[in-house]
Structure 1
Amino acid sequence: MRTDKNQFSIKKRKIGLNHPTFFIADLAANHDGNFERAKKLIFLAKKSGADAVKFQHFLAPKIVSDYGFKKLGKKAGHQSNWKNSVYETYEKYSLNREWDRKLVNYAKKIGILWMTTPYDFDALNKVNKFSHAFKIGSGDITWIEFLKTISLKKKPVLLATGASSFEDVKRAVNTIYKNNKKICIMQCNTNYTNSVKNFEYINLRVLNLYRKKFPFAILGLSDHTEGHATVLGAVSLGARIIEKHFTDNRKRPGPDHYFSMDPNSWIEMVKRTRELESSLGIEKKIIESNEKTSNILQRRCIRLNKDLEAGKRISLNDVEFLRPAPKNSYAPYQVKEILKKKLKKNKKKGMELYKVDFY
């Protein structure tokens, strides 16, 4: 059973099943290589209700092989729409690491947490003093040496598990957990085409598997589907960290804009999630305070269908089951308790019956 002990904090923000969902706006390549755009997106993410902004620290020579992708031939998947080569695209949209301190300070100034996905050791070491947590992209789930190094930083680790088998996930989780107990396992489908068909592959019920196999972990969702339907589904299944790409205009040219959320859709997602969180409630069935009146108005009780005098024994022919049901009146399921009992006083047609009415 998962309890509130399954929690950690990102900065001072508690993350866990009994805390509000933590929303990460992944700015990814949407800064378009422009510092002022990066600042603008941080501001808009904060204004839209994100808890954190996340950047991606990659350098083309340290994440992709120009030779390798060219040898594959024709670009595939979401990369097929890229105008430049894969290597050139990563080169163009890499984050200028000289911006880090300024972006961190700006995020701190406006009150939003700053974090990143590092894609090489140099990036990890340089941003360690800035990033409140580390997200591991799905593509690095088999890079065990890197996962171990990240885990040793002792900051919360968010592991995306897209395009991975359960064995891949288990290997990665075990590697991280040996050194760091602050781990979130994020279900993910690594497809960026924005096709409606992708809903068929998101497999949110994998979160149930993660809950069973990794009871110590926080659950999360790193999502690239349209809208927020999968977010609501994930939260209802126990996910408490949500990551979605974020931009100001989905029609801008670039590798990530078209499948990102914009301020309006982000605000709607957060609003609906907060409503869902309120509705999840407790695992105890009770009559709630706001339905106690309905408990009287909507329920039936046992009522007389004719006038009866004191001393009359009650039979089924004397009663009917009608609303409302005042407190302590006999309920329909209790009818056998009153059969053949004698009335103490005269009762008129339509009156409800109570224990005090009988000898």
Structure 2
Amino acid sequence: MIENNQSVYIIGEIGQNHNGSVDIAKVIIDLVCRPIEEDLFHLDLKPMDAVKLTKRDLAQELSKSQMEALYNSPHSFGKTYGEHREVLELKDEEHYEVFKYAKSKGLDVIETLCAIGCLSLLKYFTPDYLKVASRDLTNLPLLNAMAETKIPIILSTGMAGKEQLDDALKIITKYHNNISILHCVSQYPTHPDNVNLNTLNYLKKNYEKYTIGYSDHTIGIATPLAAVAMGAKIIEKHITIDRRMKGTDQAGSLGPDGVNRMVRDIRLYEKSLGKEEIFIDPSVNTAKVKLERSIATKRVIAVGEIIQKEDLHLLSPGDGFKWAEKDKVIGRTVITEIPENEVIYPNMIS
């Protein structure tokens, strides 16, 4: 389970946006590893924490009729849906190659396993997390097999209600409690009316022993940022090197600029939280002196005159007496002439 005192754990979901190519997967990883910078204050910010791949076992994927169905989409990589899916699959050894490349870049690697047969992958390497896709939250035999590995598990709730989530947790917790739960809506892209970010509050209250996060399928970066503000400790978002590439998930993914902006803004949000109190930060002192108001004269006040309330108003800069200190000024004798519309300082009065 990802500790709640850590920064937000950001997952870049490659999924099948590699289009069956290890080289493209590596280029996407390079994108994830690019420095995240804030130019105005020259801040170097923490990039994404992890990438996620998806592994399918086509023998356990779809019915025979669905696998053999013609697939005429402009995003198709084969005549039938089965042929299309086969082109998009990386072999176990290829997943391992991508895993090693991501680890060499300092990234965690998460694997979504879509069938029990996909656990063959674990002969080659151990991912940092296993992910249960929304569609498989009710696939209890798969959940049991994944939980038996004792590898930490991330669940997506995109097609689940409370009953389905509780059934899944009952299976996994027989083996371990290292579980994270992501609010998710399995509509691609997700309409704003259907996002229901308040589910995060429900999950935090009712599943407080687990890390709660959000897997996003909306367009843009506003919704994941809002999720972080609501307390999500994990954000997952599809990523690609080019949103115009062939592939059903490309257009709904973040390209290079989107990745940079989302991660930058999440990290800046983390920095901006500060502490739960009100205080004058040292960084505002210059502006405070320049812009705040001080007690000043409405008219020329000559030496020997006694200052009256009606002689005073407030002007910048803010390095003189504040109105709360007016009793230190009213009734005092002027010892050096004070021009009209000038701030009164202690050395001008008795």
CA distance in 2: counterparts of 1:120 and 1:351, whole angstroms: 77
Q: CA deviation at 1:245?
A: 2.0
Q: Determine the structure 2 residue equivalent to 1:319.
A: 312
Q: Which amino acid aligns with 2:253?
A: S
Q: Determine the structure 2 residue equivalent to 1:352.
A: 344
Contact 1:104 1:130 in 2 (8 A): no
- CA-to-aligned-CA distance 1:22-53 (integer Å, 9 cap, x gap): 33222222232334433443344434754322
CA distance in 1: counterparts of 2:160 and 2:13, whole angstroms: 21
> Cα 1:303–1:27, aligned 2, differ >3 Å: closer, same or farther?
same
The answer to whether 1:208 aligns with 2:201 is yes
Q: CA deviation at 1:118?
A: 1.0
- Aligned with 1:235 (options 220, 225, 228): 228
Q: Determine the structure 2 residue equivalent to 1:343.
A: 332
Q: CA deviation at 1:213?
A: 2.6
Q: Which amino acid aligns with 2:142?
A: F
- Aligned with 2:131 (options 131, 135, 153): 135
Trace 1:25-36 onto structure 2 (pairs within 5 A): 25-36=12-23
Contact 2:51 2:110 in 1 (8 A): yes
Contact 1:309 1:346 in 2 (8 A): yes
Q: CA deviation at 1:74?
A: 11
Q: Structure 1 length normalisation: TM-score? A: 0.76
Contact 2:57 2:117 in 1 (8 A): no
Contact 1:59 1:91 in 2 (8 A): no
CA distance in 1: counterparts of 2:245 and 2:233, whole angstroms: 30
Trace 1:278-289 onto structure 2 (pairs within 5 A): 278-289=271-282
Q: CA deviation at 1:148?
A: 4.5
> Cα 1:163–1:342, aligned 2, differ >3 Å: closer, same or farther?
same
> Cα 1:57–1:334, aligned 2, differ >3 Å: closer, same or farther?
same
> Cα 1:326–1:28, aligned 2, differ >3 Å: closer, same or farther?
same
Q: CA deviation at 1:126?
A: 3.4
Q: CA deviation at 1:280?
A: 3.1
Trace 1:245-264 onto structure 2 (pairs within 5 A): 245-264=238-257
- CA-to-aligned-CA distance 1:102-127 (integer Å, 9 cap, x gap): 33223333433322011222323632
The answer to whether 1:59 aligns with 2:67 is no
Q: Which amino acid aligns with 1:124?
A: L
- CA-to-aligned-CA distance 1:136-175 (integer Å, 9 cap, x gap): 2111222344335434434332221213334444544565
Q: Determine the structure 2 residue equivalent to 1:102.
A: 97
Contact 2:143 2:168 in 1 (8 A): yes
Q: Determine the structure 1 residue equivalent to 2:112.
A: 117
Worse-matched range after superposition: 287-296 or 86-95: 86-95
Q: Determine the structure 1 residue equivalent to 2:214.
A: 221
Matched residue of 2:59: which SS? helix
Worse-matched range after superposition: 346-355 or 219-228: 346-355
Q: Which amino acid aligns with 1:27?
A: I
Q: Structure 2 length normalisation: TM-score? A: 0.77
Matched residue of 2:54: which SS? strand
Q: Which amino acid aligns with 1:31?
A: H
Task: Provide structure 1 residue ranges, at least 5 long, that are not aligned to the other structure.
Answer: 1-6, 9-14
Q: Which amino acid aligns with 1:100?
A: H
Contact 1:62 1:120 in 2 (8 A): yes
Q: CA deviation at 1:344?
A: 5.4
Matched residue of 1:163: which SS? coil
CA distance in 2: counterparts of 1:228 and 1:38, whole angstroms: 22
Task: Provide structure 2 residue ranges, at least 5 long, that are not aligned to the other structure.
Answer: 36-46
The answer to whether 1:126 aligns with 2:124 is no
RMSD, matched Cα: 3.6
CA distance in 2: counterparts of 1:151 and 1:357, whole angstroms: 79
What number of residue pairs does the alignment pair up? 331
